């Protein structure tokens, strides 16, 4: 038992998990109501979005890349869903399917520029992020789209047994699927191989560009899912949906042990990292601290996460 505890502390994800639990205990002692059924339900619903968008970013980080457009993809696909449903009169479930496929296409566009033209992921996704965000404002003129049917908003607003939010259930199901994919499929192994050593992966016959294209397309799909779920939670499409998701998505992955150089990390760690980010935001609210501090704390955590990753990579290179 002692060895297991020490092993957990030494692992990045394990240490972050311990910090997260300690934070919830401290906030509970200070406020007396972190662990209430209502607050836990509210927290898990909110955390689900950070974790899901973290999943999208983690897949790209495992490749050794980065996707700064995940937030804009989420926002644009949420707008597509809302416009099809409210303006176009399309069946809401069909609209969800179309918006998810749009996410795949938007992610694939990133992959095409990165793979076909051999461009830097940072520059490509920064550009497409601005492009997709611009399309949202031009198409909506900054006006929210309301009138989402209750038949689908229940997915974002409802709960199982009156306490477990449906977005949290969707997050868990998605996590199981992604963990299985990364651990037990050839595609998952190819992702780690490409991220670990692209040259070696090419020598053993792995199709580098095909793998990258698939990952960016999958990242687009997951980003779209997060955006659509947020519309279903709010009951309307806002132009700022997902606007601040890019940094938390990176931080959740890196805090959970995913290397920004690629080749190591995973979905389990992202869940832990996302939980810590969400606990910080939720605690600030419960303690009555100004929400402006949330951005400051997030920035500090990002710096810490990047520093941890740099130290981890340096230690690995010295082994």
* pTM, rounded to two decimals: 0.91
SS3 259: coil
Would you list the domain boundaries of the chain?
A: 12-318
SS3 237: strand
Q: If you compute the radius of gyration of the chain from its CA atoms, what whole number of angstroms results?
A: 20
Q: Please report the pLDDT score of residue 316 as a whole number.
A: 64
Q: Please report the pLDDT score of residue 303 as a whole number.
A: 82
Q: Over its length of 319 residues, how does the chain's per-residue pLDDT go in tens digits?
A: 545 544 544 567 788 888 889 989 998 998 888 888 999 999 999 999 999 999 999 999 999 999 999 999 999 999 999 999 998 889 999 999 999 999 999 999 999 999 989 899 999 999 999 999 999 999 988 888 888 999 999 999 998 988 899 999 999 999 999 999 999 999 999 999 999 999 999 999 999 999 999 999 999 999 999 999 999 999 988 888 888 888 889 989 988 888 888 888 899 999 999 999 899 988 888 888 877 787 788 788 778 777 777 776 677 666 5
Q: Alpha-carbon distance 17 to 4, whole Å? A: 14
Which residues, 6 or more positions from 253, have their beta carbon under 8 angstroms from its beta carbon? 54, 57, 58, 61, 265, 269, 270, 273
Check residue 206 and report its DSSP letter: -
SS3 120: coil
Q: Please report the pLDDT score of residue 66 as a whole number.
A: 94
Q: Alpha-carbon distance 100 to 65, whole Å? A: 22
> DSSP labels for 179-204?
HHHHHHSHHHHHHHHHHH-HHHHHHT
Separation in Å, CA 193 to CA 197, 211, 212, 266: 6, 10, 11, 13
Dihedral sign computed on CA atoms, order 122, 127, 130, 135? negative
Check residue 260 and report its DSSP letter: T
Beta bridge partner(s), residue 160: 164
Q: Alpha-carbon distance 150 to 161, whole Å? A: 19
- Do 278 and 43 touch, CB atoms closer than 8 A? yes
Strand (E) or helix (H) holding 236: strand 236-237
Q: Please report the pLDDT score of residue 2 as a whole number.
A: 47
Q: Alpha-carbon distance 134 to 141, whole Å? A: 10
Q: Give residue for tokens 């979005």.
A: 49
Q: Please report the pLDDT score of residue 8 as a whole number.
A: 46
CATH class of the domain whose range is 12-318: mainly alpha
């Amino acid at each position: 038992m002692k060895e297991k505890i020490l092993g957990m502390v030494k692992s990045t994800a394990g240490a972050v998990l311990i910090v997260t639990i300690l934070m919830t205990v401290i906030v509970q002692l200070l406020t007396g109501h972190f662990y209430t059924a209502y607050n836990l339900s509210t927290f898990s619903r909110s955390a689900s979005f950070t974790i899901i968008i973290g999943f999208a970013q983690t897949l790209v980080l495992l490749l050794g890349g980065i996707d700064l457009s995940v937030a804009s993809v989420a926002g644009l696909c949420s707008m597509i869903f809302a416009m099809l449903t409210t303006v176009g009169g399309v069946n809401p479930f069909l609209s969800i399917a179309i918006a998810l496929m749009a996410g795949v296409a938007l992610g694939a566009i990133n992959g095409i520029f990165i793979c076909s033209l051999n461009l830097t992921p940072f520059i490509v996704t920064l550009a497409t992020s601005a492009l997709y965000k611009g399309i949202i404002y031009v198409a909506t003129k900054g006006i929210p789209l309301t009138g989402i049917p209750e038949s689908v908003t229940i997915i974002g607003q409802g709960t199982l047994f009156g306490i477990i939010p449906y977005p949290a259930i969707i997050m868990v199901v998605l996590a199981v699927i992604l963990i299985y994919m990364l651990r037990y499929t050839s595609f998952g192994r190819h992702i780690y191989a490409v991220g670990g050593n692209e040259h070696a992966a090419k020598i053993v016959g792995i199709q580098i560009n095909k793998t990258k294209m698939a990952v960016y397309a999958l990242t687009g799909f997951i980003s779209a899912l997060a955006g659509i779920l947020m519309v279903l939670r709010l009951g309307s499409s806002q132009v700022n949906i997902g606007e601040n998701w890019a940094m938390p998505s990176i931080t959740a992955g890196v805090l959970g042990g995913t290397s920004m150089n690629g080749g190591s990390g995973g979905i389990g760690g992202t869940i832990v990292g996302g939980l810590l980010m969400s606990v910080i935001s939720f605690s600030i609210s419960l303690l009555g601290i100004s929400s402006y501090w949330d951005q400051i704390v997030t920035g500090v955590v990002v710096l810490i996460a990047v520093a941890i990753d740099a130290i981890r990579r340096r230690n690995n290179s010295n082994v």
